[in-house]
Amino acid sequence: MGEDDVPLELTEVDRWGGQVMARLDDGWCAALNRATMLCGIYERRPAICRDYQVGGSDCIAERLKLAAVSHD
């Protein structure tokens, strides 16, 4: 996320020392507004998020994967 402008409180350091988006206990992104299911920092979202088209097959696959984990 080197050049991204993400609020620091929504990031964490991974096990390799890299800055990544923070995840909630259930695995969902900390920037996701759970009431609307929209990104709370859309204009400042990291480049990796910009690579996913909203409603695209990659986006849907990731949401389904996380939904399955949260129901286990």
Phi, psi of 32 (to 5 degrees): -75, 125
Q: Is it the case that residue 22 has pLDDT exceeding 90?
A: yes
pLDDT in the model for residue 65: 81
Q: Are 1 and 11 in contact (CB under 8 A)?
A: yes
Residue 27: predicted pLDDT? 84
Q: State the Cα–Cα distance between residues 35 and 54, nearest whole angstrom.
A: 17
Q: Looking at residue 3, what is its pLDDT?
A: 80
> CA geometry: angle at 57 spanning 55 and 59, to 5°?
55
Listed in sequence order, the residues at least 6 apart from 4 whose beta carbon sits closer than 8 Å to its beta carbon are 44, 45, 46, 47
Verdict on whether the full-model pTM lies above 0.85: no
